[in-house]
Structure 1
Amino acid sequence: MADAEVQIPDPSADVEMGGEEEGDGGAEVVEEETMLPDVEVETKRESFLDFLKSPIIELAVGIGENETILTAHQALLIKSPYFQEACARFGPDEKRRRIDLPDEDLSAVGSVLEYLYNDEYFPKRLAPSAKDSALEADPSVPSPDNTGAALLKHARIYTLAEKFRLPSLKSLAHSKIHRTNSTARGEIAYARYVYKETSRDDQQIRKPVAAFWATRSHVLRHEAEEEFRTMCLEFPQFSFDVLSLVLDQKEKGKVRGGAEEAESSRGVTGTPVVHSGRKRQRTSGI
């Protein structure tokens, strides 16, 4: 019997898949995605240890016998644009790196360095999130504070923050000024520093000082009249700022009084408005 013929299908022949009545006459070609998903590139986080590995900078505060050498790590110091520009002058192989600060207050510079390392300085706010939180007790401040030591501490830091171009430190120091208690004489010492060391255009710190004294004539007459007179003669701008606010208050009082009189004539009564001055408390004392 003859062998059955085996037929091998032609591989080049078309292979039908599915019925013509369902399909589109041929196999659908699906294009596979070849694009890989975006890969996030991790940026290296600079650790505190990296800061400590940076070169040591000497800060010479004061002059002559009063000169004191402080040290700080360059990577932390250059958070301040002022120090960044100063450090840019040092060569890569320069071993001793020194910045002179002959006219600055030693304690204030120390507080600036404390802030650069810790984002805070002593005395800290007891409740940072609270609007009217008090500050830690500072044993170096006398009680009562007739010298204005506490206020002057923050005022000096404020002016240094301005010089070193650290706006966040400037804001922090300003917030602590309004959480600090003092006496009338302490307030005058603070006002003298502000009008001597700050720009005339810096109303952020000057205006509250003038407003404080514009609303406290009774304090001036009984606790610090002589100091206030000296202050006015030494800084005429202070006198003008206080006088301007007093006159503004008188004008507003006349307008308000006229309005109340008109309302009274119409039989309308209202609750009197009590205007407070500076919110910061002041300890009574000479």
Structure 2
Amino acid sequence: MSHTEVHPTAIVGAGARLGNGVKIGPYCVVGSDVVLHDNVELISHVSLDGHTEIGAGSRIFPFASISRQPQDRKYHGEASRVVIGERCDIRETVTINPGTEAGGMETRIGNDCLIMAGAHVAHDAILGNNVILANYVGIAGHCQIGDYVSFGGMCAVHQFVRIGAHAFIGAQSMVDSDVIPYGMAVGNRARLAGLNLVGLKRRGFDRESIHTLRAAYRMVFSTEGTLRERVEDAAGMFKDEPLVQDVVRFIASVSDRPLCLPRSTRDEE
């Protein structure tokens, strides 16, 4: 069984729970309600507070600040949480805020995520597995980010926005509307620019599934009829196609934000 290493300059609260093989480097501060699972490493100068749980094998780099008071004036000291999954890399100066009573009381990040330097994840945001936030990406409160979503550098995401699984957000985009699964969005304000074909191929989706998804995309975002009618048509025509059904369910579900559309699609939809 590997032992825990705590640098003599680190401060670890009496109630903190440390798994096997945890390494806490110089000048880290770990609060009493923090749980670090096996083989978590805090490189140096990391600040962990509040009710925080870090999954096994995750690494947190210098000057990251996790679970300090959220940047929300509605927060009144409630015992909300941050939960970070396994094998995540949280790079330098990242900030991750806990949930609030007005949200789900929890900010959650899945497994195998990479959050690059200077990025911010706000209160009550939920990130899936294998999400990549490039440098200085800002995720606002209450956002929902699906599995395998990737962001280029310096993106901003409006509060309550949903971004579906396997989507790609181009660098310096400002996203203020929901982005469908497998979609690619770019711009200020971001609009759909097609499907994330590069990501789909890299992740092993077969050619036939991608071809079918492209056909459904063209149907849903054409200009004939209403968006609702086109979605219903796609749901029926591609009822046995899982990727298409992912998109259909996403569009049909209730949201606080409008849907991100291609520039050629009528804005009133």
- TM-score (ref. length: structure 2): 0.28
- TM-score (ref. length: structure 1): 0.27
More strand by share: 2
| Bigger RCO of structures 1 and 2 (CA < 8 A, at least 6 apart) | 1
| Structure possessing the higher radius of gyration over alpha carbons | 1
